[in-house]
Chains A and B, each alone.
Chain A
Amino acid sequence: MSGAPAIETSGLRKTYRTRRGRQVAVQGLDLHVPAGGVHGFLGPNGSGKTTSIRMLLGLINADSGTMTIFGHPVPDDLPAVIDRVGAIVESPKFFPAFSGRTNLELLAGAIGAPKSRVGEVLEATHLADRAKDHYAAYSLGMKQRLAVAATLLKDPDLLIFDEPTNGLDPAGIREVRDTMRDLGQRGKTVLVSSHILAEVEQVADTVSIIGRGHLLASGSVSTILGSQGTTVVRVGVSEPDRAATLLAYEGWTTRREGTHLVVEGASDPAAVTRALALAGLYVHELTPVVPDLESVFLDLTTHEQLGAPPTSRASRWGGRK
């Protein structure tokens, strides 16, 4: 199974029965997570991220579609690959009346890991000095660290973190981020689901953005950002009103932003400079406007909420990598 993607899903669908009838949580999700590196799994609340992860881990049953982890079809072949997967789904969940150490010892016992491994992961997650405390007495950050410790018991090749920084203070967020980055650099595959985009942007190599249960965009972060970033430039020019009229005549969309013009659709910024210069308007500043992941995300998901067809946007970003 070498060379297989870490995760691949095709046509994944899940509906829930509610009082108001069947509610679609995931509809035809095609996900491709390459092996190695950090992959952001982004989407607004309720977009189907956690449901998708639960299906991958065999916690809930898919209505239809196929899933593989390192080439193994899941959930049927999950026992063969589960030792390579560590996961925290939503908030960490352990036995509250047991200590952190006891919780880890039970899990280690279930997979046959040596007891010494428990000490190692407690040290690695800076929990050794609080290991004898009841889990119920842990702060949210400590609970999150214990969950990370649990995933490390197996020394997995794939780590799935579902909203790992929920409720953490800035130091905790940074710690989790560093852990993910470190794991990615060590060749592990980290799938991090989040709706906090700034944190994902800092660590992710590739991302998938979903909305309403299906894929909106997928690819490397630079591709997704770059494909939008090259189209918008901010221009400082003498006589901005005349420049705006000229550029509009040439086919660009412009808007005033103070003394500057923002030009959309400028896939070749030099063409803007040239057009203005030919009209005797001299550019004293030209800055490509590079969007952050948040603006891309908002653009995609806002349109999604308005009901625009998602397929056109998926292809706009070049589809899957």
Chain B
Amino acid sequence: MMRLLVVETRRLWLRRLTWFTLFAGLLVIGLTGVATWQQAQPVSAAEQAQSDNDYQQALKDWQANGEQMLKDCLQQQAEAQKTDPKADFQCQAASQAPQREWFGRQPPSFLEIAQNTTRNAALTVGFLVFLIGASAVAAEFTTGAIGTWLTFEPRRLRVLTSKLVATGVTGFLASAALVALLVGTTYAISRYAGTVGALPSDGLRALGLLTLRVTAAATLAGLVGASLGALTRHTGAAIAVALGYAVAIEGFVRAWKPELAPFLVDPNLNAWIGGQSTYSVPLCSTNAEGFYSCTYVEHTLWQADGARFGGIVVALLILAALWAFRHRDVT
């Protein structure tokens, strides 16, 4: 088994598509770096002067009209409370004096940018690793090389298991490298711009855990790709199944039955990466006067929910792939 694993891992790294995919990942990191560069720039004197001016203008406006605006707001609220006693227009908050920090751009710190870019890169990195896994397995069927392979090692479960493990190892290394490069690039840019900001240990720890979660999710995406590659036996078909599911099933089910969100990939992925994700379920009824109205009840999916869902889905796909590879003819 170890021998097969070594050979499969070597084959994966010899494939042009693996390197092409990593190169595509580098391009994405480069584009992200451009956006990071723009965000991390310190505030220029012209920007500072403009925001000072905007603040003074708003303050003057509030001093002249603030009291009247509060009165108008309270009056409208009182009108609304005649039909709905619970109506609350948040008039005090809306009419408070403008604060200086509301105006002008504050360059985000390294930790803020890194958290955002890492979170946003999860889908891209996951897709690239999915592609590596799907094409590595499916190409063997497309070229017919799997038949030659099985005349050297006929134990099919071993053969596919070695391919899946090799995909997992390669996917982990590739995604870890890409995420590490992304975070490193972000730090280098922030440092060059002089806007690194504070680096508290809990912030660094949170960023470290986030990169691990993104890497783990991308590794699972690679295993999903490899499993779909074995099931569909064609890279294009594996991609079509994944994209078709994402667009048709996820989108349709979310719109049609929002209460099924705990069984969908997107909210669970967000929960896993971001710590939690919320979804709203409408509760609709018709009152005595015949008015139909809905209230939205918010539910939360937690990180553990996302982890459990991801684990179960990947395990089921792997089992299906192993079963199919064990029993289907190789022609």
- Residues in chain A within 8 A of chain B (CB atoms): 54, 57-61, 75, 78-79, 82, 85-87, 89, 91-98, 102, 106-107, 109-112, 147, 150, 154
Do the beta carbons of B329 and A89 come within 8 Å of each other?
no
Among B140-148, B191-199, B278-286, the stretch in contact with A: B140-148
Q: A75-B154, A94-B145 are in contact. Are A60 and B3 (CB under 8 A)?
A: no
Complex-state Cα separation, A54 to B16, whole angstroms: 31
* Chain A minimum-CB-distance residue to B140: A95
The docked-state distance in angstroms from the alpha carbon of A110 to that of B330 is: 19
Q: Which of B7-15, B98-106, B117-125, B173-181 contacts A (4 or more CB under 8 A)?
A: B7-15
Find chain A residues with CB under 8 A from B139 CB. 95
Question: What residues of chain B have their CB less than 8 Å away from a CB belonging to chain A?
Answer: 3-4, 6-7, 10-11, 14-16, 139-140, 143-145, 147-155, 327, 329-331
Of all chain B residues, which has the CB nearest A107?
B152
When A79-B154, A96-B143, A97-B16 are in contact, do A106 and B7 touch as well, CB less than 8 Å? yes
Name B155's contact: one of A54, A57, A79, A97 (CB within 8 Å): A79
User: With a CB–CB cut-off of 8 A, which chain B residues contact A96?
Assistant: 143
Which one, A60, A97, A110, contacts B153 given CB within 8 A? A110
Q: How far is the CA of A106 from the CA of B208 in the complex (A)?
A: 37
28 contacts between A and B (CB under 8 A): A54-B329, A58-B150, A58-B154, A59-B150, A60-B329, A60-B330, A61-B327, A61-B329, A75-B154, A79-B153, A82-B151, A89-B147, A89-B151, A93-B147, A94-B145, A95-B145, A97-B15, A97-B16, A106-B7, A107-B149, A109-B10, A110-B3, A110-B4, A110-B7, A110-B149, A111-B153, A150-B148, A154-B152
A150 surroundings in chain B (CB, below 8 A) = 148
Inter-chain contact A112/B3, CB cutoff 8 Å: yes
Return chain A residues, CB-CB under 8 Å to B152. 82, 107, 110-111, 154
| CB-defined contacts of B10 to chain A, threshold 8 Å | 106, 109
Decide if A82 touches B154 in the complex (CB within 8 Å).
yes
Q: Cα distance A59–B152 when bound, in Å?
A: 12
Interface centre among A102, A110, A150 (most CB of B within 10 A): A110
- Of B16, B148, B330, B331, chain A has the most CB atoms within 10 Å of the CB of B148
Return the contact of B14 from the options A78, A98, A112 (Cβ within 8 A).
A98
- Chain A residues contacting B155 (CB-CB under 8 Å) are 79
Chain A residues lying within 8 Å of B148, measured Cβ to Cβ, are 92-94, 107, 147, 150
Chain B, Cβ-Cβ closest to A98: B14
Per the bound structure, the CA–CA distance linking A110 and B9 in Å amounts to 12
Q: How distant is A138 from chain B, measured CB to nearest CB, in Å?
A: 13
> Does the CB pair A93–B4 fall under 8 Å?
no
Task: Report which of B16, B144, B154, B327 forms a contact with A93, defined as CB distance below 8 A.
Answer: B144
Give min CB distance, B136 to chain A, whole Å: 11
In the complex the two chains form, what is the Cα distance from A79 to B327 in whole Å?
A: 16
User: Which residues of A sit under 8 angstroms from B14, Cβ to Cβ?
Assistant: 98, 102
Asked if A85 contacts B151 (CB within 8 A), the reply is yes
Distance between A52 CB and nearest chain B CB, rounded to angstroms = 13
- In the bound complex, do residue B150 and residue A54 qualify as a contact, i.e. CB atoms below 8 Å apart? no
Report how far A236 CA is from B140 CA in the complex, Å.
63
CA A87 – CA B155 in complex, angstroms?
16
Nearest-CB distance from A212 to chain B (Å)? 20
Cα distance, A220 to B144, chains bound together (Å): 34
The closest CB in chain A to the CB of B6 belongs to: A109
Nearest A residue to B331, CB-CB: A60
Q: Is the CB of A95 within 8 A of B150?
A: no
Q: Closest approach, in angstroms, between the C-beta of A165 and any C-beta of chain B?
A: 19
CB of A117 to closest CB in B, whole Å: 13
* A93 and B6 alpha carbons, distance in the complex (Å): 21
Q: List 7 A-B pairs, minimum CB-CB distance, nearest first.
A: A93-B144, A60-B329, A109-B7, A78-B154, A59-B330, A58-B154, A87-B151
User: Which residues in A have their C-beta under 8 angstroms from that of B15?
Assistant: 97
Please give, as numbers and ranges, the residues of chain B lying within 8 Å of A89 by CB-CB distance. Answer: 147, 151
Contacts of A111 in B (CB 8 A): 152-153
Residues in A neighbouring B150, C-beta threshold 8 A = 57-59
What B residues does A75 contact at CB under 8 A? 154
Identity of the chain B residue whose Cβ is nearest the Cβ of A75 in the assembled complex: B154
B16 nearest in chain A by CB position = A97
Distance of A219 Cα from B39 Cα, bound (Å)? 83
Hey, which chain A residues are within 8 Å of B154, CB to CB? Answer: 57-58, 75, 78-79, 82
Q: Are A59 and B143 in contact (CB under 8 A)?
A: no
Point out the residues of chain B lying under 8 angstroms from A97, CB to CB.
15-16
Contacts of A60 in B (CB 8 A): 329-331
Which residues on the A side are within 8 Å of B327 (C-beta)?
61
**How far is A196 from B297 in the complex, measured between Cα atoms in Å?**
75
Assess the B147–A109 pair: CB atoms within 8 A.
no
CB < 8 Å: which of A59, A61, A85 contacts B147?
A59
Closest A-chain residue to B4, C-beta based? A110
Q: Which A residues are in CB contact (< 8 Å) with B11?
A: 95, 106
- Which residues of chain B come closer than 8 Å to A87, judged between CB atoms? 151
Contacts of A86 in B (CB 8 A): 151
CA distance A78 to B331 in the complex (A): 18
Question: A93: shortest Cβ distance to chain B, in Å?
Answer: 3
Given contacts A60-B331, A92-B148, A110-B7, 20 further A-B pairs with CB under 8 A are A58-B154, A60-B329, A60-B330, A75-B154, A82-B152, A87-B151, A89-B147, A93-B143, A93-B144, A93-B147, A94-B145, A94-B148, A95-B11, A95-B139, A95-B145, A97-B16, A98-B14, A106-B7, A107-B152, A109-B10
Closest-by-CB residue of B relative to A61 is B329
Q: Are A59 and B4 in contact (CB under 8 A)?
A: no
Chain B residues with CB under 8 Å of A85's CB are 151
A232–B16 Cα gap in the complex (Å)? Answer: 63
- Which residues on the B side are within 8 Å of A93 (C-beta)? 143-145, 147-148
